[in-house]
Structure 1
Amino acid sequence: MVPLPDGQQAFTTATGVRIDLSRTGESAVVSPSLAYNGLSRTASMSGTVYATVDGATGGTLVTGYLVGCQVDLSGGVSLGGDVYVSPNSVSPELSPSINLVPGGVARVKFDTKRLDPAAGAVGVEYHDRGVQVDGCAGYAQARAFTMLTVTNERGSAEVTLYGDPFSIG
């Protein structure tokens, strides 16, 4: 298990909304892929995201993970070739090619919740939520994100709370 540090942001937006956004109890369990190959990664995440909001008439909380891969091999391996003909023989030549693509980052959304302005709070708790990355050669890592958007009659504001990156293989 990989314990990860708690995170918090507290401030008042330019539109006058007071926000206290936190992530607590976050951890990850990195395990071998069920496919048992070097191109797949599996991790299970747990944590609690909670926001108290004062002065908003609406809002949305989105939470999940950003997952990055060093080299994307999801394009697979292909075989191509040529056949050479000479008076003495026919010789086929097969040439494998691997479709290497620079790594990328994918956003894995765990949940979206609407803020109830009367309650003044919104939260998401998740336990052992799995993420699997396939076709990834090289290093892979993940990091939590939580995006809170709030609105009132004066406008809207958005804040994102990121967790610490951690290796998933």
Structure 2
Amino acid sequence: MRVLDGVGRGAAGIGVGLAVLMLGCGVAGADTVVPLPAGEQALTTATGIPVDLTRTGETAIISPSLAANGMSRTAQLSGTAYATVPGATGGTLETGYLVGCQVDLSGGLSLGGDVYLSPESMSPELNPSIKLVPGGVAVVKFGSKTIDPAAGAVGIAYRNRGIQLSGCGGFAEARAYSALTVTNDKGSAEVTLYGDPFSVG
């Protein structure tokens, strides 16, 4: 399984037309706190590595636009992605969010301030502007970390990481993903864990 192919298939039904901007500070306003359930993917890969991939403590704080604009809203996201991978000699854990919008009023997708993946791309890229057609998704990468073979584990925690949706004239939705790649002398394997979808307004 190719991790990013899985990400794309997991959100193929979400129509997108929005600008997603990373925010470095908190957002004021009438906030809605959305607690999200923990998730787990436990299995032994074809290469013989026992994997236990979890996401815990995930919450989303949804805020309306400060400018009282119905086409803009923000979310602050928190959570921890963690995997135990005894026997792995290498690999990476990546985590982030799939973000989609029902109606395209933005004329494209603009991204700033972090590393992102386009739906068609197989590797991270810095892109100040990405055009998305209806039915596409924005994959917003929050972080990536290399596995420490001595520890047999890897984790990424994020607290109040912000995204801002602009130019979205309809229902917006987001969903967490964590993509784990593990290697040993028999080869490599990939495992993806998705979170529950939630409304961004």
Same fold (TM over 0.5): yes
Q: Which residue of 2 aligns with 1:36?
A: 68
Q: What is the letter of the counterpart of residue 60 of structure 1?
A: T
* 1:6 and 2:38 are equivalent in the alignment: yes
> In the alignment, does 2:38 pair up with 1:27?
no
1:137 is displaced (CA, Å) by: 1.1
> Which position in structure 2 is the counterpart of 1:106?
138
- Cα deviation 1:9-32 (Å, max 9, x = unaligned): 111101001111000010100001
Deviation at 1:102? 2.6
Separation in 1, partners of 2:57, 2:47: 31
Structure 2 CA distance for aligned equivalents of residues 120 and 22 of structure 1: 15
Secondary structure of the residue aligned to 2:85 is strand
- Cα distance in 2 for partners of 1:113, 1:36 equals 38
Give the match's secondary structure for 1:39. Answer: coil
Contact 1:3 1:26 in 2 (8 A): yes
Amino acid at match of 2:187: G
1:168 aligns with 2:174: no
Residue identity opposite 1:32 in structure 2: P
Cα displacement (A) at 1:35: 3.9
* Matching residue's letter, 1:40: S
> How far off is 1:153 after superposition?
1.1
Partner in structure 2 of residue 49 of structure 1 = 81
Q: Which amino acid aligns with 1:158?
A: E
The normalised TM-score by structure 1 is 0.82
2:12 corresponds to = none
Post-superposition shift, 1:103?
4.9
Aligned partners of 1:73 and 1:135 also within 8 Å: yes
Alignment partners' CA distance in 2, 1:164 and 1:129: 18
Secondary structure at the residue paired with 1:16? coil
Q: From the CA coordinates, give the structure whose radius of gyration is larger.
A: 1
Post-superposition Cα deviations, 1:114-160, rounded to whole Å, max 9, x if no partner, equal 00111111101111110111111110000000000001111110010
Q: Bigger shift: 123-132 or 101-110?
A: 101-110
Note if 1:151 corresponds to 2:183.
Answer: yes
Q: TM-score, normalised by structure 2?
A: 0.69
Indicate the RMSD between aligned Cα atoms, in angstroms: 1.3
Alpha-carbon distance in 2 for matches of 1:102, 1:60:
31
What CA distance in whole angstroms lies between the structure 1 residues aligned with 2:135 and 2:68? 21
The SS at the match of 2:106 is: coil
Inter-CA distance 72–156: structure 2 relative to 1 (3 Å threshold): same
Which residue of 1 is the match for residue 124 of structure 2? Answer: none
Cα deviation, residue 40, structure 1: 1.2
- How big is the shift at 1:39? 1.1
In structure 2, the residue matched to 1:86 is: none
